Amino acid sequence: MSKRHPWIALTLAFGMVPAQAETIQVSIDKLVFSPAIVEAKVGDTIEWVNKDMFAHTATVKGGWEVMIPPKKSASLTLKAAGPVDYFCRFHPNMKGHVDVAP
């Protein structure tokens, strides 16, 4: 008979199993982030898929920047909670927003 850990049963009984991190895809096509607004949580990864023929960035003023080459993808794992507005440094009219929950 195998040993059971009582905390496992309690964790499952009370629904306290930690949520799995997710990968959220944002496509870039014709100078548009889609979806432009996403909800995520700390630990999730945003993956930008660039369908355009030229490079883009996902840039946060005073924060991070992700370079997304043409016809490729790039990603970033979210480390902090809070609202995040980002844009493409090469095409400042391209804007996106991520609401990051703890």
pLDDT per position as a tens digit, 40-81: 999 999 999 999 999 999 999 999 999 999 999 999 999 999
* pLDDT, tens digit, 9 for 90 and up, residues 13-37: 444 445 689 999 999 999 999 999 9
From the candidate CATH numbers 3.40.50.720, 2.60.40.420, 2.130.10.10, 3.30.60.50, the one assigned to the domain spanning 18-101: 2.60.40.420
More reliable by pLDDT, 64 or 8: 64
> What percentage of residues in the chain have a pLDDT greater than 90?
79
Q: Token pair for residue 61?
A: 């003023």
For residue 18, the model assigns a pLDDT of 58
Q: Minimal CA–CA distance to 45: which of 17, 72, 73?
A: 73
What is the Cα–Cα distance from 58 to 21, expressed in whole angstroms?
A: 20
Neighbouring CB atoms inside 10 A of 101's CB total 12
Strands (E), the chain: 23-28, 33-34, 37-41, 45-50, 56-59, 65-68, 73-77, 82-87, 95-101
**Neighbouring-strand partners of residue 84:** 98
Q: Is the pLDDT of residue 11 over 50?
A: no
